[in-house]
Amino acid sequence: MFNKETEYALRSMVYIQAQNLKGRKPGVDEIARATEAPRHFTAKILHRLVRGGFLLSAKGKGGGFHIDQEKPSVNIYDVVTAVEGQKIFSGCVFGLKNCSNESPCPLHNRYKSIRESLGELLSNETILSLAQKYQAYQ
């Protein structure tokens, strides 16, 4: 479905949020281990998420990653599009550039409704709601 970077980003953020709920700020090592993702690639992705405003980080002893609990939790759709763009939510099944409501391919309308369901599902779920459900991927 999504590319590796997106998958790791989502797993990391949910893990960080779950740990934050427990008053903890996990570091890269812990996050990579807990999410079963490559250590250094995870570090790179976390850094991108920090620059993108999705995460906060603290250097030095006691440091690690955390999420601003003041702001409303970001939804999954927004994380996905920030990491890998809109392609998944807008492309034609056949990759036709001019496929649209105006000149639809034979699958356009039915595929569109499926895509919209996916978009809704991902928009209605946030990193926080997932963290609360999933409880740190034990």
Partner DNA sequence: TTAATAAATGACAAAAAGGTCATTTAATAA
Partner DNA sequence: TTATTAAATGACCTTTTTGTCATTTATTAA
Which residue ranges make up the site for DNA (CB under 7 A)? 3-5, 8, 26-29, 37-41, 43-44, 46-47, 50-51, 57-65
CB of 85 to DNA, least distance (A): 9
What is the secondary structure of 81-134 as a DSSP string?
Answer: HHHH-SHHHH--TT--TT-SSSS--TTHHHHHHHHHHHHHHHHS-BHHHHHHHH
Nearer to its own copies, 62 or 101 (CB): 101
Q: Using alpha carbons only, give the angle 93, 82, 75 rounded to the nearest 5 degrees.
A: 95
100 binds, among DNA, its own copies, none (CB under 5 to 8 A by kind): none
Beta bridge partners of 14: none
Nearer to its own copies, 4 or 63 (CB): 4
Other CB atoms within a 10 A radius of the CB of residue 72 amount to 9
Positions touching its own copies (CB under 8 A) are: 1-2, 4, 7-8, 10-11, 14, 36, 76, 87-88, 91-97, 105-107, 110-111, 114, 117-118, 121, 125, 129-130, 133-134, 137
